[in-house]
């Protein structure tokens, strides 16, 4: 009994550094943010208690709903495509070919680049008149000058494609790990039973990948709801606010309009959306396991 107590006590010094940092930089701001959302709070802390006024304002704020929809639209576009693409690439790089290492590294490399690097790379390639992409389009004989960043529809295509290209590598690695965890004996047994390759994929590979698939789905939804930097850098939320995500609006309200209280309120709205989505997903996972 006493031994266990000493054991626990000795863990404290090792846990403490992280615990302190975590309290100061994560837990404390969460509660501070809740407090701020109840005040009229500016950058220089002129504070006036306004109760739930920020919250009622939020429900009638068109820009909140518009930017929340933009973010949700981004999630709807990227999540399924991300899961399918990551799965496809993982299957491709799991094949026993000469190019196995080449596939794995080339799919993963974009993930190690920073958001500013990938954004400027894309702006450079997609710019009209002398960008690489438009030049190729014209070279193959199509007489068009698509505005990849200035046309409402194309701006979304650009952002989704850039995000997929940039982040698919990490999800591919997760799927790849899942693929390699599937016991080989399952395939051997099914081969003896005369299963085709498609049967093996359908009845062994896919079901075995469901747990990791759920993890990827959850991570992807959470990450996509936090989308901000690549949109800010590539389209600036434009054209005319058409791709402006919620976090950019929060940022503008907080730091350009000097209204941190309301910015905190909207951050809380986003927090609750993510919390609810996570709970739903974890619940469905549990019922799935049962």
Partner 1 sequence: MRKGFSVFIGVVFVALILAACSGNSDSAGNDVEIPEGATEVVMWNLFSGGDAEYMNDIVTEFNDSQEEYFVNNVQQEYEEYYTKLLTSVGSGKGPDLAIAHSHVLPELVTQGLVTNINDYAEDAGLNWDEFNQNVLDVTVYDGNNYAVPIDTHPEIMFINNNLVDEAGLLNDDGTPDFEKTPEGFVEFLTSLKESLPEDKMPFAFSSVGEDPYRIWWALYNQMGGENIVSGDMENPTYALDHEKATKAAKYLYDLYHTHEAIPLDLADFYSDFQSGNAALITTGVWATGIWETTEDLDFTPMPFPNIFGQDAAWASSHTFVLPYYDDADEDAQKGAVEFMKFATDNGADWARAGHIPAKDTVLESDEFKDMPYRSEYAEVANYVKYVDRTVHARGIQDIVVRNLDKYWAGDAAAEEVFSMIEQEVTDLIAE
Question: Burial level of 82, CB count in 10 A (0-12/13-18/19+)?
Answer: buried
Stretch that binds partner 1, among 85-93, 198-206, 239-247, 270-278 (CB under 8 A): 239-247
User: According to the binding rule CB under 8 A, does residue 237 interact with partner 1?
Assistant: yes
Number of residues lying near partner 1 (CB under 8 A): 40
User: According to the binding rule CB under 8 A, does residue 257 interact with partner 1?
Assistant: yes
Q: Are 38 and 261 in contact (CB under 8 A)?
A: yes
User: According to the binding rule CB under 8 A, does residue 46 interact with partner 1?
Assistant: yes
C-alpha dihedral (242, 247, 249, 252), degrees to nearest 10 = -130
Closest approach of partner 1 to the CB of residue 147, in Å: 5
Residues of the chain by 3-state class (helix, strand, coil), percent to 5: 75, 0, 20
d(CA 94, CA 88): 10
Q: Are 77 and 156 in contact (CB under 8 A)?
A: yes
User: According to the binding rule CB under 8 A, does residue 258 interact with partner 1?
Assistant: yes
SS3 29: helix
User: According to the binding rule CB under 8 A, does residue 5 interact with partner 1?
Assistant: no
d(CA 165, CA 161): 6
Beta-bridged to residue 48, according to DSSP, are 40
Stretch that binds partner 1, among 136-144, 220-228, 255-263, 270-278 (CB under 8 A): 255-263
User: According to the binding rule CB under 8 A, does residue 135 interact with partner 1?
Assistant: no
Stretch that binds partner 1, among 40-48, 81-89, 178-186, 223-231 (CB under 8 A): 40-48
Q: Outline where DSSP puts E strands in 16-89.
A: 39-40, 48-49
Among 22, 28, 203, 255, binds partner 1 (CB under 8 A): 255
Q: Which of 154, 165, 79, 77 is nearest to 121 (CA)?
A: 165
Beta-bridged to residue 214, according to DSSP, are none
Stretch that binds partner 1, among 11-19, 77-85, 90-98, 174-182 (CB under 8 A): 11-19
SS3 195: coil
* Residues 140-179, interacting with partner 1 (CB under 8 A): 147, 149-152
Closest approach of partner 1 to the CB of residue 48, in Å: 12
Closest approach of partner 1 to the CB of residue 19, in Å: 11
- Convert residues 87-116 into a mask of x (bound to partner 1 by CB under 8 A) and - (unbound): ------------------------------
Residues that bind partner 1 (CB under 8 A): 6, 10, 12-14, 16-17, 20, 42-46, 63, 123-124, 127-131, 147, 149-152, 236-242, 244, 252, 255-259
């Amino acid at each position: 009994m006493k031994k266990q107590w000493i054991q626990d006590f000795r863990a404290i010094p090792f846990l403490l550094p992280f615990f302190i940092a975590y309290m100061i930089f994560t837990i404390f701001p969460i509660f501070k943010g809740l407090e701020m959302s109840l005040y009229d709070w500016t950058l220089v802390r002129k504070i006036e208690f306004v109760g739930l006024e920020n919250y009622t304002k939020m429900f009638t704020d068109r820009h909140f709903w518009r930017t929340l929809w933009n973010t949700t639209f981004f999630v709807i576009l990227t999540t399924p495509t991300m899961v399918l693409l990551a799965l496809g690439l993982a299957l491709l790089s799991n094949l026993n070919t000469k190019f196995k290492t080449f596939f794995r590294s080339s799919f993963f490399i974009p993930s190690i680049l920073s958001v500013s690097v990938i954004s400027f790379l894309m702006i450079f390639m997609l710019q009209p008149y002398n960008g690489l992409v438009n030049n190729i389009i014209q070279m193959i004989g199509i007489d068009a000058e698509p505005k990849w960043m200035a046309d409402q529809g194309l701006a979304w295509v650009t952002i989704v494609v850039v995000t997929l290209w940039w982040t698919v590598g990490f999800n591919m690695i997760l799927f790849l790990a899942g693929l390699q965890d599937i016991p080989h004996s399952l395939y051997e047994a099914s081969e003896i039973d005369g299963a085709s390759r498609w049967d093996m994929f359908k009845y062994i590979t896919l079901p075995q990948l469901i747990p990791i698939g759920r993890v990827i789905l959850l991570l992807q939804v959470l990450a996509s709801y936090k989308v901000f930097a690549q949109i800010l850098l590539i389209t600036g939320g434009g054209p005319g606010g058409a791709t402006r995500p919620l976090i950019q609006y929060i940022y503008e309200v907080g730091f350009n309009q000097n209204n941190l209280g309301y910015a905190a309120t909207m951050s809380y709205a986003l927090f609750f959306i993510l919390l609810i989505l996570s709970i739903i997903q974890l619940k469905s996972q549990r019922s799935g396991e049962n």
